[in-house]
Amino acid sequence: GQQLNQSPQSMFIQEGEDVSMNCTSSSIFNTWLWYKQDPGEGPVLLIALYKAGELTSNGRLTAQFGITRKDSFLNISASIPSDVGIYFCAGRGWGGYQKVTFGTGTKLQVIP
């Protein structure tokens, strides 16, 4: 099956620092998604990427869709305590109705 591996698995950072996390896939996806999951909650979509090479920002978040369609990264600038959570990359086919395949997750802890 399709495998999405994220790195790092977990990270502790100081408030105000920038964060970078990566995702690589064993197969090509046409759409890349980044979700955040707070404890006891469902995943919430942060950024969606639709074209290879695309670089998209959403506030302090920036994500890129790799040229090979097999990887993506997410950067968070100037981290704040509420950035704590698990970040999942995910891949999907062209259609919005298609299943989402989630990565293994990166757990982020922010030290105030």
Q: Which residues are near other proteins by CB under 8 A?
A: 30-31, 37, 40-45, 48, 50, 88, 94-105
Q: How far is the CB of 43 from other proteins (least distance, A)?
A: 5
Q: How far is the CB of 30 from other proteins (least distance, A)?
A: 8
* Sign of the four-CA dihedral 14, 15, 16, 17: positive
Is the CB of 59 or the CB of 95 nearer to other proteins?
Answer: 95
Kindly report the backbone phi and psi dihedral angles of residue 32, in degrees, each rounded to the nearest multiple of 5, phi listed first. Answer: -115, 140
Strand pairing class (19-25; 71-76):
antiparallel
Is the CB of 16 or the CB of 53 nearer to other proteins?
Answer: 53
Q: Report helix, strand or coil for 82.
A: helix
